Amino acid sequence: MPRVVELSNKAIVNENSQTAKVLGLFPYFGPEAIGGVQASARIAWEAVTDYSDAPALLVYANEHHTDASENGNGTLVVNSKRKAVYRALTGKWPQDLVFVWHLGLLRLLPFFRFSKVRLVVMLLGIEAWKKHTGLTRKQLEKVDLFLSISDHTWRDFLQFNRRYEDKPHQTVLLGIGKPLQTVTPAPSATPAALMLSRLSKDEDYKGHREVIRVWACVMRSVPDAELWIVGDGDLRKDLEELVSQLNLGERVRFWGRVSEDTKEKLLEDCRCLVMPSRAEGFGLVYLEAMRMGRPCLVSTVDAGREVVNPPEAGLAVNPDNEVELADAICRLLGDGPEWKRWSEESRRRYEENFTAKHFQERLRAALFSGSVPMGTQHQKGNDRLDAMVQPSQSGIPR
């Protein structure tokens, strides 16, 4: 059994902090960028700019983004390998800390001319869970501090890359938004479960098929139950065909891509968020639900448990166990004392641990504490707990 992750509700104070000149290598996270990588990058860079001395940011975009950017002062936006290499070779880089938000951007490092820098890399999830070779492996050897967004992400990275298990590492759990300023909204009369994500065949691990397959079983216990699927992409047609084959009719509704206001309303109206995924490095969508007092269904095989801490703010199931999956959904669709407790605990857990401010405090403490000098190594791994980028959208160089 995994050990429960205990989070402190105290603000992180870094008594030995000092300002640094930071260069960030980030994927594009402008206003129109979507996805958890981009959303968390936005919050992370805000934390850096509030703390460091004249930060510089090189953003790797795709062909749809121009040199104009809302990412802040000192930002260079490049949308091709050629432009990225040219900027790196011709620029002046007085920074003493380089913060790389995505492993794919490590391949740009050889083109920069630094005098002496401390290199910090964030591991986000599935992009880290493979054996790294060639140029990426060579740059990983230079990393002074690995950060990961969950213990699961770090463990799975080490499964394929044991050579780095003695490198300094810290887990920096993410956070988003601010607490609600109102009472927890009551759900609608319809017992609805919400699934919220991109519907991409590249991300066909989030549990949509499994949940659809057990929905008839859910309806036997909760006759009025509805499944709301929000998001769009090339997986949607396959899921719609599956719904048709199972004769689920209007009980499974596809909303497509929705506005932020509509998303907020759906989170208010649903009873729970359901995403028994197999490969979440964290799962920001769980926080969006918990913020509204909505319990979550996660899987037992990825990082969702670190966010929800079942049974505190929801439940965890094996997505391959249909009986277990259907039973958990039925429980989360309830409206009795158990659901009310989950709702209260979900919101409390979010507000005490997972706001954007909490994340920024954790990140600043990791980046600027000065506790890991360049070139040093310390404790082996991280044992607190015994776990998407679409290249065309994220702008990560291939």
Say yes or no: do domains 22-176+357-394 and 192-353 share a fold. yes
Q: Is the Cβ–Cβ distance between 307 and 354 less than 8 Å?
A: yes
- Measured CA distances, 267 to 263, 340, 376 (Å): 6, 16, 46
- Give the pLDDT of residue 47: 92
Homologous superfamily of 192-353:
Glycogen Phosphorylase B; (3.40.50.2000)
**Tell me, what's the pLDDT at 371?**
40
Residue 396 has pLDDT above 90, yes or no: no
The SS3 call for residue 214 is coil
Spell out the domain ranges in the chain. Answer: 22-176+357-394, 192-353
* pLDDT tens per residue, range 11-42: 333 344 456 889 999 988 877 667 788 889 99
> Which range (45-59, 119-133, 363-377) has the least confidence?
363-377
Secondary structure of residue 304 in the 3-state scheme: helix
Residue 267, both tokens: 């989170």
What average pLDDT does the segment 109-122 reach? 92
pLDDT of residue 385: 28
User: What is the average pLDDT value for the chain, to the nearest integer?
Assistant: 86
Could you report the per-residue pLDDT of 163-182, keeping only the tens digit for each?
Answer: 999 999 999 999 999 999 99
The CATH architecture annotation of domain 22-176+357-394 reads: 3-Layer(aba) Sandwich (3.40)
What DSSP string runs through 159-211? HH-GGGTTS-EEE-----S---SSPPPPPPSS-EEEEES---GGGTTSSHHHH
State the average pLDDT over residues 287-300: 98
In the 3-class helix/strand/coil scheme, how is 72-93 assigned residue by residue?
A: CCCEEEECCHHHHHHHHHHCCC
Q: Among 109-123, 231-245, 257-271, name the one with the lowest average pLDDT.
A: 109-123
